[in-house]
A = this chain, B = another copy of it.
Amino acid sequence: MNPTDHIPPVLTLAEAKAQFVHTWGVSGANWGVSKTLAQVHALLLVSPGALSTEDLMEQLKISRGNASMTVRELLDMGLVYKELRPGERREYFIAEKDMLQVTRCIIRVRKRRELDQMKRSLDQLANLPGDPADAEYRAFHATLTDIQQLATVSDKLLTRLMQAERSWFWDKFIKLFT
């Protein structure tokens, strides 16, 4: 009896990939993107080569329209690239595999959606005139200013993280926290 015979792999590679796609899909829903978007991203991340719309439809069992729109959104986010093959009409897609780049894209997209928009509304409100002698006004204004300051700090932190070079900020963080 071969000594490795009795240690069967728990999952085949294909099964592990499928599970990753599933997991990433669930996580995506928690992150505020659609399950399909996360799954398409996951599938492209673990596929060595580029995939066509047809491949995505088939492997994830989604419609052509869904595949088309989702892929376009991933292209907009910068998480996926088009791969054109000479002499072929069909478009292929390949994921950005460098996790530093992926992180940057995700931070950029989420910052825009979650922070920038709020900041714009707050700036407007915080500058409103009011009677500085009115205690209620002062309280309101103080709360708003606090929130604004927080938003500003978060903004700058995220901007730095986004621009970080692997060599500098990133390594610094890894060293600090690993």
A binding-site residues for B, Cβ under 8 Å: 7, 9-11, 13, 16-17, 19-20, 23, 26-27, 30-32, 45-46, 48, 97, 99, 103, 113-114, 117-118, 121-122, 125, 128-130, 134, 136-137, 139-140, 143-144, 146-147, 149-150, 152-153, 156-157, 160, 173-174, 176-178
Contact = CB atoms under 8 A, between A and B. Distances in A.
A112 to B, nearest CB: 10
A93 to B, nearest CB: 16
B113 A30 contact: yes
A11 B137 CA distance: 12
A149 B152 CA distance: 28
Given A13-B136, A118-B27, A177-B160, A46 B143 contact: yes
Contacts of A45: 143
The oligomer's copy count stands at 2
> Which 8 A-B residue pairs are closest in the complex by CB-CB distance?
A156-B177, A23-B121, A27-B118, A99-B146, A30-B114, A32-B32, A99-B150, A16-B128
A137 B27 contact: no
Contacts of A46: 139-140, 143
